[in-house]
Amino acid sequence: MTDFAGKNVLVLGGSRGIGAAIVRRFAAGGAGVAFTYAGSKDAAAMLAEETGAEAVHADSADRDALIAAVAARGALDVVVINAGTLVLGDPLALDADAIDRMIDVNVRAPYHAAVEAARRMNDNGRIIVIGSVNGDRMPFAGGAAYALTKSAMQGLVRGLARDFGPRGITVNSIQPGPTNSEMNPTDGPMAATMHSFMAIKRHTEPYEIAELAAYVAGPHGAMITGSMQTIDGGFGA
């Protein structure tokens, strides 16, 4: 297991699912971890008690609250930007405010969080954005707006990798495919359809994504930057 002893780590959107697995992984590696949550107060409290991490209430759609939460952590070694929302459906019928909130959380928040983290981040730090394989492929109807937000992450990490590279700071996206979580359970109504697109016909488990995040954040990830690290069982193959 990669040793993160003494490292200052912040996970944005860390109370459940992929985010909680990432909190657990870095805490198990010895890091000092804080994570944000918006609506899952009880889950956040349980995770904080389990791991010793600090739970911070901050809605990623609120730019000022998000920036304050990042700034409060001081000189970060690793920031993982996981908070995200999913809105699917007929674009002619979807609520415009729901789409705008998704853009706020999935696009604007990662940009502002990454920039604020970099202001005081230690040299050779790590910025990781949890994107989606849907940034590469949207094989079913109803996902245009969601795919737009995840494709935007690709441009974000490529550009910021150039901007922060002189300080040895890496910027990468991890792109999961179908992942076993409350949002998309392995036995959910869409599972069979999703598995039909995959080479390995099962959902990814959150801990598998957390291990990839730890690799990218560790010493072996020093020359991985501006990249899309896809973990999707061949969904986009």
**What amino acid positions are annotated as catalytic residues?**
146
Indicate the helix (H) or strand (E) that contains 150: helix 144-164
Beta bridge partners of 81: 12, 129
Q: Name the nearest CA neighbour of 151 among 228, 65, 234.
A: 228
Count H helices, E strands: the chain? 8, 7
Beta bridge partners of 11: 35, 80
Question: CB burial class (10 A; 0-12, 13-18, 19+) of residue 1?
Answer: exposed
Give the total residue count for the chain: 237
